[in-house]
Structure 1
Amino acid sequence: MKRLQLYNPTGFRTLLDREIHRFMKIAVQTLLAPLLSNVLYLGVFGGLLKTRQVGLLGTNYLLFLVPGLATMGAIFAAFQNPSFSMISQKFQNTIQDLNSYPISNLEKTLAFVLGGTIRGVLIGLLTYLAAACFVGFQIVHPFGFLFLLGVVSFIFAALGLIAGLLFDGYEKLNFVLTIVIVPLAYFGGVFFELGRLTGSLAVLKYLNPIFPLVGITRYAYLGISDGNLALQALMAAGFTIVSFLAAFHTLERGWGLKV
């Protein structure tokens, strides 16, 4: 239990500040670029389908799209922040310096994960603010929406930390993003209701871990959900705990901290 003790708050804040400062220094790339991508999605899909009504109590498609895009943006940004931080340190041959930081492994894990979480939440909120120009600022549960953006970002920041520790190059990270996370996000209920799928495709929502995260975030935004809300909340809580413990275990074992 001593290994789980926070014993250097100053060191923890310093590392967290470094992670935040790292992505804020290149905000055009880390914040503006993904925001513009989400706005383009909103413009293209929303422009083509703005008069379409989806099955969620006849909700306008633009309103349906906004929380999905905010969640997707948070997922990508949160995953990329700690993973690219780890890989860049490997290329600079400084990754082993993590072992000498005068803070606990829990503090290291929290700092990297919270850094990614902050970036993910910023992307989610910026996407919402940009979309407000099209659909207005109304949110059914604003604090719940903000909290769930934080939960989603926390989960994928922890997964990003694991990926950054285990992989040794940007190519492998981009492979995971392109081949695994992007398809899961696209088929996670961001752009359409998975409840409308029939046959063998209907099982996608039960196999896709992003679906409950999108669903519960959409509930906070719209007040309606595509799926079992209680089950989605339970899965989100489980993902949060498991992902953080896995990230802590990976760093605790020292995997990827030697070059």
Structure 2
Amino acid sequence: MKRGFIFYNRTGFLTLLNREIHRFMKVPVQTVLAPLISNILYMAIFGGMLQTRSVGIDGVSYLHFLVPGLATMGAIFAAFQNPAFSIISQKFQNTIQDLNSYPISVTEKILAFIFGGMFRGVLVGVLTYAATIFFVGYEIEYPLFFVLGLTATSFVFASVGLIAGLVLDNFEKMNFALAIVITPLTYLGGVFFEVSKLPGILSSIKYINPIYPLVNITRYAYIGVCEGNIYTHVLVTTVLVISSYLIAAHIFKKGIGIKTV
């Protein structure tokens, strides 16, 4: 096998990536349709009840404010769950050690799991936007940047999902991390409201909440404005993409959750 700059065995990498994508596409009702319906219900309920609510961004309705937040939230949950569920499932089936025998490089293994989760996250995020066209129309300020924002968000949380899958050893712990850590951070990251309007110390959480810049990048791409400085959000997001991957790669290369089960 000829070594490349990144890929040692391109066919093997694509095979593993294809497996990760087809694994969730076999049950689209659970992995794609369910979160999509949840986001539509959020849109219908919150949008219906609060559509006249004022937003601290001039000229922006609450419904338009809500759409990019829901798309980002859908991408976060979907991207996290895909690699986390895949790795923990292999632990449950006692086949996780087989990863060591795959004829592909460690980088290819890591990227296959991350790209699989990233694809699912972007898919759910884009479909969420498409589903909201009925409520708010199809206008979007920067379409390419919108997809790029969802891609960066999905990459970050696919990496986090891979970390969770390696470190955690059962589905209960994974669901606990999702419910107790990621979900509150998502809600406090500006999905449903402006973080600056939170009372007291809650408004300061944005400085340590990694989801806050991700939501605002998508919101800027959708409506052309956002809370805070877009250049700062892009910089922080770039750091998150790089650091999340490096941490996931370090844990994977050390064999945590793979060599000892």
**Where in structure 2 are there 5+ consecutive unaligned residues?**
none
The within-5 A match list for 1:168-179 is: 168-179=169-180
Superposed CA offset, 1:214-236 (max 9, x none) = 01110000000111111111000
How far has the Cα of 1:196 moved from its partner? 1.8
Quick check: 1:245 aligned with 2:218?
Answer: no
Aligned AA (1:127): T
Q: Which residue of 2 aligns with 1:255?
A: 256
The within-5 A match list for 1:1-259 is: 5-258=6-259, 259=261
What TM-score do the two structures reach when normalised by structure 1?
A: 0.97
Given that 1:3 and 1:105 are in contact with CA atoms closer than 8 Å, whether structure 2 keeps it comes out as no
Superposed CA offset, 1:39-58 (max 9, x none) = 11101000001122201113
Aligned equivalents of 1:3 and 1:110: distance in 2? 15
Superposed CA offset, 1:125-165 (max 9, x none) = 11001111100011000000001100000000000001001
Aligned equivalents of 1:51 and 1:242: distance in 2? 40
Aligned equivalents of 2:162 and 2:200: distance in 1? 36
How far has the Cα of 1:203 moved from its partner? 0.6
Aligned AA (1:106): T
Aligned AA (2:79): A
Given that 1:4 and 1:106 are in contact with CA atoms closer than 8 Å, whether structure 2 keeps it comes out as no
How far has the Cα of 1:6 moved from its partner? 1.6
- The alignment partner of 2:189 has SS state of helix
Aligned equivalents of 1:201 and 1:155: distance in 2? 24
Aligned equivalents of 2:245 and 2:225: distance in 1? 29
Superposed CA offset, 1:163-201 (max 9, x none) = 001111000000100000000000100000012234322
RMSD: 1.3
Aligned AA (1:15): L
**Where in structure 1 are there 5+ consecutive unaligned residues?**
none
Aligned equivalents of 1:76 and 1:199: distance in 2? 28
Superposed CA offset, 1:49-69 (max 9, x none) = 112220111310000000000
- The alignment partner of 2:55 has SS state of coil
Aligned AA (2:116): G
Superposed CA offset, 1:56-101 (max 9, x none) = 1131000000000000000000000000000000111100000000
Aligned equivalents of 1:48 and 1:235: distance in 2? 33
How many residue pairs end up in the alignment? 258
Aligned equivalents of 1:49 and 1:195: distance in 2? 18
Aligned equivalents of 1:164 and 1:4: distance in 2? 27
How far has the Cα of 1:205 moved from its partner? 1.3
- The alignment partner of 2:201 has SS state of helix
Q: Cα–Cα, structure 1 residues 162 and 4, in superposed 2: closer, same or farther, change >3 Å?
A: farther
State the identity %: 61
How far has the Cα of 1:121 moved from its partner? 0.3
Bigger Cα displacement from structure 2, 188-197 vs 176-185: 188-197
